[in-house]
Structure 1
Amino acid sequence: MGKIVMSGPQNVSLDGVVQDPDGKEGFELGGWFTRFGGEDLAEWSKIALEEALGAEAWLLGRKSYEFFGERWRPRSGELADRLNSMPKYVVSSTLEEPDWDNSTVLRGDVVTEVAKLKRELDGEIVVPASHRLGRTLIEHDLVDEVRMVVFPVVLGAGERFFGEAPSTKPLRLVEARTIGDGLAFLTYEFVRNS
């Protein structure tokens, strides 16, 4: 059985904003990833590589799939080579022909398809940046772990990592460490009722 991990790593501001970290979506407060990560981004890159090497597969929503594919397909190097060669599953009702190597489109009911994928794969199924997909999976108790890198900035507005949820989802802190001088890398597990 696979383990679904929201990560990649998942980048959030101190107040939980995940919207437009690189500034390419046109959000007025976008671009905080490089502005407030600074020299710590070299250490962040090591975490990203570590996670990619440890993942069995990536699971993405369509927008994240297109964003990452456009960014990583033309690159080479250890991280790019891993991302380009690893199995990728994209949740989409409209994508016909995926254009990134080793990609499979999951159609139909997202909860059913992801539950099936979780039963079929062993190891970590990492959901990078796809916070809308992640919210759906969290709501249906399919996510096992959340890993986030907290950037030292309060944006005050923007789309949050966790949206409104119909029920409380308790988590347990598994690990906390500093990346560089200013970033916090936090790992939480969802607490399941026994």
Structure 2
Amino acid sequence: MRKLIMWNLITLDGYFEGEKNWDLSFHGLAWGKELEDFILTQLRSIEILVFGATTYQGMADYWTNAPEDEGEVAKFMNNLPKLACSTTLQSANWKNTTIVKDAVKEISKLKNEGSGNMFVFGSGILSASLMKANLFDEYRICIAPVFLGKGRKLFQEGIPNIPLKRIETNSFSSGAVILRYTP
């Protein structure tokens, strides 16, 4: 059975983007060789990338025009199969993308059809829907060493009470900490 894994980078006060869409400037506070190596290890385990519509469009815009120094990460991001979960997207130009109208139904089905990992990056609205449907097998949260004070929180009101078990903690010299939990 495939595992559905949430991967997000948030601030210590819980924001996953600033006040505007794609205000991810705080990511630089967590970035370094250790986080890059961790991300590459994750990418090697991914069978399918999963995005909500807004995250999909932003990621597609970035990764299809990625700078040369993004090398190996860009190769993975551009070549892996992707699901764009949206009721409004009509077309997807990013290589290897399938548009999914009913995310909960399709992801439930895909979880039973394979053994690799599916990762949800960003995608706060989609993540909340998947949490409510109890579909996540693991949560991987990287905490950037900063209080942002305002922006868009990853975990909104209305998500269910999900008791978690910590399975791993990684600390990096940048001050970032990665927490891994399973329900």
Output the TM-score relative to the length of structure 1. 0.85
Structure-1 residue corresponding to 2:177: 184
Aligned residues: 180
- For the residues of structure 2 that align with 1:86 and 1:100, how far apart are their CA atoms? 10
Question: Match for 1:91 among 85, 95, 100?
Answer: 85
- For the residues of structure 1 that align with 2:92 and 2:163, how far apart are their CA atoms? 36
SS in 2 for 1:120: coil
Question: Match for 1:158 among 131, 151, 155?
Answer: 151
- CA RMSD between the two structures: 1.9
Structure-1 residue corresponding to 2:21: 25
Structure-1 residue corresponding to 2:4: 4
Return the letter of the residue paired with 1:189: T
How far is 1:156 from its partner? 2.5
Question: Match for 1:57 among 44, 48, 55?
Answer: 48
Q: Is the 8 A contact 1:24 1:31 kept in 2?
A: no
Identity in percent: 30
Correspondence list, 1:74-89, <5 A: 74-75=65-66, 77-89=71-83
Q: Is the 8 A contact 1:131 1:161 kept in 2?
A: yes
- Residue 8 of structure 2 corresponds to residue 15 of structure 1: no
Structure 1 unmatched ranges of 5 or more: none
- For the residues of structure 2 that align with 1:5 and 1:125, how far apart are their CA atoms? 6
- For the residues of structure 2 that align with 1:11 and 1:188, how far apart are their CA atoms? 14
Runs of 4 or more off by more than 4 Å in structure 1?
A: none
* Residue 4 to residue 168, structure 1, CA distance change in 2 (3 Å): same
- For the residues of structure 1 that align with 2:111 and 2:141, how far apart are their CA atoms? 21
- For the residues of structure 1 that align with 2:156 and 2:20, how far apart are their CA atoms? 22
Deviations 1:4-42 (A, max 9, x none): 0001xx11111111123xx86386xx62222x33xx433
